[in-house]
Amino acid sequence: MSDENITKNMGKLLREGAALLNIACPQCNTPLLRLKDGTMYCAKCNQQVVEQGAARSSTTREEQNVLNVLATRILSVLESLIASLPANPHPEEIRAFARVARDLVEVLQGIQKLQS
C-alpha cells in the first residue's frame, strides 16, 4: 500500500471516529488507530493489532509537550496557508488549499484525541 493510500485510509478512519494512538505497529512502525469498537488497527498492515501488557494508550507529560508543539506548528502552517491565498484564487488553488487544510485538520484532531 502506498504512503498516500495509507494516509487516506487513516484520514477516513479518523473522520469515522477512530483515535490516533501514541503506539506504533510492531510490524511496520506505523502509528496505530483505536477504532470506535475499541480495537487497535494498523492502516498500513490493514489488520487488527492485539494490545500487550507493555502497550499503553495514555500520554506522558513529555509526550503531551511534543503534541502541543506539533499542534502549534500545524496551526502556524494553516495560518500561513490562509495568508498566502490570493484575494481571487483560481478554483484549482482553492481545491489544493482545501486538500492540505483538510489533512492538517485531521492531524490536529488526532492530536486532540491523543491528549484527551
The predicted-structure confidence for 36-49, as pLDDT tens digits, reads as follows 888 899 999 989 98
3-state class (DSSP) for residue 32: strand
Amino acid, res. 46? N
Q: In whole angstroms, give the CA distance from residue 62 to residue 112.
A: 15
> With bands split at pLDDT 50, 70 and 90, how would you rate the model's confidence at 111?
confident
> With bands split at pLDDT 50, 70 and 90, how would you rate the model's confidence at 53?
low
- pLDDT value of residue 11: 87
User: Considering the chain, what percentage of its residues have pLDDT values greater than 70?
Assistant: 90
- pLDDT value of residue 35: 92
Amino acid, res. 94? I
Using CA atoms in the order 30, 32, 35, 38, what is the torsion angle rounded to 10 degrees? 150
| CB-based contact 111:64 (threshold 8 Å) | no
> With bands split at pLDDT 50, 70 and 90, how would you rate the model's confidence at 91?
very high
